[in-house]
Amino acid sequence: MWKYTDEVMDHYRNPRNVGEIEDATVIGEAGSLACGDKLKLYLKVSKDGIVEDAKFQTFGCGSAVASSSILTEMIIGKTLEEVKKITNKDIADKLGGLPPQKMHCSVMGREALEDALSKYYNEEIEIKPQEKIICQCGNISEDTIRNAIRDKHLQTIEQVGDATSAGTMCGNCLQEIAKILEEETKGLNNFDITKLNKTQQILKVYGVIEDHVAGELRKDGGDIELVDVDNNKVYVSLKGCCKSCKNSQLTLKNFVEHSLREYLSPDIEVIGV
């Protein structure tokens, strides 16, 4: 059972600005009855670009009603320039948050607002930032996801979610995240580390050790130090409990070396010093 905030319940039980504006300046729509949620947003805009009134008609769940209701309160009295900046996250935050499975309701509100403004200006405009947004629920861009994959050597959708929160809410963007992940990791483990200079080699190896190795060792009181990198040979020193553990050689080969081969290159050899 999903837990809703008091604000969500209030706007669901006592929705504000329900109905239509007969002489509306513009009407924005989003959603589809076939999908179970649909929103029609009416705006009355003054000559100097101020939203004088806003009303809505929503078919959908309680979160959809609450998101539409709070949206009208957020935009009445605002200039169109201010309204353009409103994101679905702003809508959800104003409600005190929405369950991940219901974040799409706030997205529908933003899309209806975007549709209304596009019609008002008689052109395609975007409220969202210039960079492409992949995860609408979290307002997470494609660049953010790609950079996280590269910098943290991410390999799975779950790791992308842990690192960026993308795809952890409604899940509608998982397919697109998977495509980005495939593009970024294609051939990742086949590059020749020997083609990098010394500094680049050290940074690459250090990044994998910190992101995927050291944390696991520290959970058991151990640690690891990168001593040197000489092309395909990686010299490390186990610390803490790992140093005196009788299975230290297995840790080096079965965990450390395996991780570096998985995230960097299959030719890497780990040597304990």
Nearest of 271, 218, 224, 222 to residue 249 by alpha carbon: 271
- Torsion, Cα 224 225 227 233, to 10 degrees, reads 30
Catalytic residue among 105, 135, 170, 242: 105
Fill in the amino acid letter for 133: I
Is 135 among the catalytic positions?
no
Fill in the amino acid letter for 66: A
Whether residue 193 contacts residue 232, with contact meaning beta carbons closer than 8 Å, is answered with: yes
Rounded distance, CA 271 to CA 33, Å?
Answer: 62
* 3-class SS of residue 141: strand
Rounded distance, CA 263 to CA 204, Å?
Answer: 10
Between 62-75 and 103-121, two packed helices, what is the crossing angle to 10 degrees?
A: 40
Is 35 among the catalytic positions?
yes
Rounded distance, CA 101 to CA 168, Å?
Answer: 9
Question: How many other C-beta atoms are found inside a 10 Å radius of the C-beta of residue 36?
Answer: 11
Catalytic residues: 35, 105
